[in-house]
Amino acid sequence: MLNAIIHSFPIKLLLVHVKHNQFLLFYWAILFATVDGRFGKALGLPFLFLDPIYLGKVGFWGFLIIGVALAGFSMAFNITSYILDGFRFPFLGTLPKPFSHYCLNNGLIPLAFLAFYIHRVITFQLNVELYENTRIIFGLLGLLSGYVLMLSFLFLYFTRTNRDIQKVLSSKAVRIAKNPAKNYNAFEKLRRLKKKKVKVLYYFSLNLKIHSTRRYERYYDRIAILGIFKQNQRNAIVVEMLLLVVLIGLGVFQTSPLFQIPAASSAILLMTMIVMATGALSYWLRSWVVTTVIGLFILANILTSEFNLGYEYPAYGLDYSGPKTEYSLEVVEDLASPEAIDKSKAHWIQMLENWKAKTGEVKPRMTLIAVSGGGQRSALWTVNVLKHADSVSKGNLMKETFLITGASGGLIGAAFFRDLYWEKRDLQSEEHLDEIGQELLNPLIFSLLINDIFYKAKHFESGGQVYKRERGYEFESNLSNNLEGQLDRPISAYQKAEFNGEIPALLVSPLITNDGRKLNISPQPVAFLNLGPNGESITQGVDFRALMKGKQPDSLRFLTALRMSATFPYVTPTITLPTDPPIQIADAGISDNYGVVDALVFVNVFKEWILENTSEVVLLTIRDSDKNEALGPVESKNFLERALSPIRSAYQSWDKVQTIKNDQFFELTKAGMGNHLRRLEFEYTNADDASDRASLSWRLTEIEKQNILNAIHQKKNQKVLYRYSKAVSIQ
């Protein structure tokens, strides 16, 4: 029996994959690791599979689409391995419906994954999301329905188009092919096939019974068997091409929410295309595939470098036509000249006077809000903290706030809250938390798959300029839709309101990757941010509006400015400005993830006015992490973990390095301000289990949202809220 099992078709296929098709097993390993939570948990990747959202809900239709995508990936796995390895099993060509037999016996890995996936979905939704049993059952019915429907469609195609041995033998083409003089190549292939064939004794038939491979051992024409494989392989490649056309065709309808499929299914489709492309190249190029791929990579590298090929993602609203703006050290120093700094200082002094007059107090309290990055997690946390702070201040938070700084998701949340205040919306309404918590990942990943990888056919207009639609636009458009049109303005729309003190000023400070300086984006002149503590000019940043003069900087879309500050690698694209040389913009969190530095630079520059005209300055910092995280035990590491440890440790410590430097800067500033400056810090943390923190993503599960919202009730945050309420009651 052991011999029969070892030489059974399913086991032999599995061994062939291990020996010849490691790249196919690699994609399955990624799926297993992701669903199990061992890969991408910090980024929320497992939740995209375990709790898929479609049309704003988790349920039957979202799982059905994932089932369709998963069946397509399973079939791509079968097709690719059949194309590459079907010839190793000559007995297969003597069976009716050889491809169907191959898929059935090749189902160990796909079926194992499907069972494992169902188990993880049930466990997650039952124990973590706490869904009702009926809701879980409907989701699983959707998954299985999509899986079965897709497989049925594909098998129907192969059943109707693939020929078995009887049809091939009866065809005129095969009778002509029996002439050895004309078929030297065919006989040569048969000779190689005989050397590479794999010994198989038993297989599963389509009626799910076990049969011996000798059952169909007759003296069939071996060239006819070869013809079976060639014809089946051509059919499989046709299916691959059709799937590719369908995927590209979806791009035509990507604006419709119906076609914005769950992010997990988009990821599966991407892997499906990679598997199909790899299989096709391997089939056509055989042993030359690795050499050819390396050669194509080198050629593409040379062409993109020499001819400057490739798409550069623009900042919407800017004018990219005509001569580019010079970007050099001389230009940067000129933008930070004493004259430019003095002019911007005078402008902001007038803003401060206007703000003071709006408060109606002789010496008002000045609040500065600094928020941290962290994707949607930070955006929701920021809005929730500001909501509670505004409540204890009896609705005076935004009135007392003069400046908002920060990075990434936190700045998006703060900007949203500021817009709500500006439009006199109910700041305590729970619906605003629902709006900022709506997912953004489905259209983003779908656009990456359909639009950015293949082609960018559609266009849109912004600031009088025309741009191609890509995933950056999809991110901004869906964020605007989620927030009911909030933030969808040019930056110039905020200029008057900020200047008159009607709303707090907000500074966006992403990083210029070329030289590490900040790109300071504001509707106001901000050259004063280059003023050092001793009054000297230091070129630590660049005034965006001054640099882009002549490229209509005031038309920059505010959503684009916020996205520039929240450039998550590979998810949201890196923006390139129309300068010479081109400068690229990265996430503000690389330079200062907490916005503290910019807020303290402002305090130092305007210290004299602040001391004379305000009762105190409150620096309200909103972090999406625990500031003083407890040190855990040193865990044992395997060889790979030890090899990656230096890089991983440097990356993980960067957040702590910024925190320490910010604290040092704060203490130096406080030394010159005395008790006039104090700091209140809110921290998103989970006192029960730090590992259960919400993921760093643009899509949150319901349990993650509740985790974030409940963090305000943690003891340390309640103490900060109480201290703030006491401070505002004294005024």
Measured CA to CA in angstroms, residue 598 lies from 532, 591, 601 at distances of 12, 11, 5
* Residues 249, 267: Cα–Cα separation, whole Å: 17
Q: Alpha helix (H) ranges present in 489-606?
A: 495-499, 544-547, 558-565, 589-592, 596-605
Split at pLDDT 50, 70, 90, the class of 689 is low
Instruction: Say yes or no to pLDDT of 168 above 70.
Output: no
Residues 427 and 294 in one domain: no
Residues 53 and 22 in one domain: yes
Residues 25 and 93 in one domain: yes
Kindly state the average pLDDT of the residues 258-276.
83
* Amino acid type, 175: R
Residues 127 and 239 in one domain: yes
For residue 612, the model assigns a pLDDT of 95
For residue 630, the model assigns a pLDDT of 63
Instruction: Say yes or no to pLDDT of 219 above 50.
Output: no
Kindly state the average pLDDT of the residues 461-470.
88
* Count of domains forming the chain: 2
Kindly state the average pLDDT of the residues 180-185.
44
Domain end marker among 304, 338, 373: 304
For residue 183, the model assigns a pLDDT of 45
Residues 206 and 337 in one domain: no
Indicate the pairing of strand 583-586 with strand 511-512: antiparallel
Residues 363 and 272 in one domain: no
Angle CA 326–327–330, to nearest 5? 100
Domain end marker among 304, 334, 357: 304
Asked if the structure places residue 641 within a domain, the reply is no
Residues 28 and 105 in one domain: yes
Asked if the structure places residue 574 within a domain, the reply is yes
Residues 556 and 614 in one domain: yes
Residues 276 and 352 in one domain: no
Residues 412 and 361 in one domain: yes
Instruction: Say yes or no to pLDDT of 169 above 70.
Output: no
Q: For residue 368, which of 538, 563, 606 has the smallest C-alpha distance?
A: 606
Residues 298 and 346 in one domain: no
Q: What is the DSSP letter of 606?
A: T
Split at pLDDT 50, 70, 90, the class of 688 is low
pLDDT digits (tens, 9 = 90+) for 26-80: 999 999 999 998 888 777 888 889 988 888 788 899 999 999 999 989 988 988 8
- Asked if residue 592 lies in contact with residue 407, where contact means CB atoms within 8 angstroms, the answer is yes
Split at pLDDT 50, 70, 90, the class of 436 is very high
**Residue 375 Rama label (left phi>0; alpha psi -120 to 50; beta):** left
* Residues 317, 319: Cα–Cα separation, whole Å: 7
Asked if the structure places residue 635 within a domain, the reply is no
* Residues 124, 118: Cα–Cα separation, whole Å: 10
| Lowest-confidence pick of 87-96, 409-418, 619-628 | 87-96
Kindly state the average pLDDT of the residues 305-320.
82
Domain containing 131: what range? 2-304
- The CATH number that applies at residue 599 is 3.40.1090
Asked if the structure places residue 155 within a domain, the reply is yes
Kindly state the average pLDDT of the residues 148-165.
74
Instruction: Say yes or no to pLDDT of 425 above 90.
Output: yes
Q: Is 332 helix (H, G, I), strand (E, B) or coil?
A: helix
| DSSP-assigned beta bridge partners for residue 465 | 462
Within 13 Å and on the Cβ side, how many CA atoms surround 128? 18
Residues 6+ apart with CB under 8 A from 83: 233, 236, 237, 279, 280, 282, 283
Residues 253 and 368 in one domain: no
pLDDT digits (tens, 9 = 90+) for 629-667: 666 565 656 555 555 555 556 556 777 888 889 889 999
Residue 581 preceded by cis peptide, ω within 30: yes
Asked if the structure places residue 160 within a domain, the reply is yes
* Residues 150, 155: Cα–Cα separation, whole Å: 9
Let me know if 310 is exposed, middle or buried by CB neighbors in 10 A (0-12, 13-18, 19+). exposed
Asked if the structure places residue 578 within a domain, the reply is yes
- Asked if residue 564 lies in contact with residue 521, where contact means CB atoms within 8 angstroms, the answer is yes
Work out the percent of the chain whose per-residue pLDDT is above 90: 45
Asked if the structure places residue 57 within a domain, the reply is yes
